[in-house]
Amino acid sequence: MFFLDEHSHTTGPPLGVPYRGNYYKIGICLRGTAELRANLETCHIEPGSLMLITPHTIKEWTSFSTNHDSLSVFFTPEFSICKQSAPG
Q: What is the Cα–Cα distance from 42 to 44, expressed in whole angstroms?
A: 7
Question: In this structure, are residues 2 and 74 in contact, taking their beta carbons and an 8 Å threshold?
Answer: yes
Ranges assigned E (strand) in 16-68: 24-31, 34-38, 41-45, 50-53, 59-64
Q: What is the Cα–Cα distance from 13 to 18, expressed in whole angstroms?
A: 10
pLDDT tens readout for residues 8-41: 555 566 678 888 888 899 999 999 999 999 998 9
Secondary structure (3-state) at 78: helix
pLDDT tens readout for residues 52-88: 999 989 999 999 999 999 999 988 888 766 666 556 5
| Structural fold of domain 2-6+20-78 | Jelly Rolls (2.60.120)
Instruction: Domain ranges for the chain, please list them.
Output: 2-6+20-78
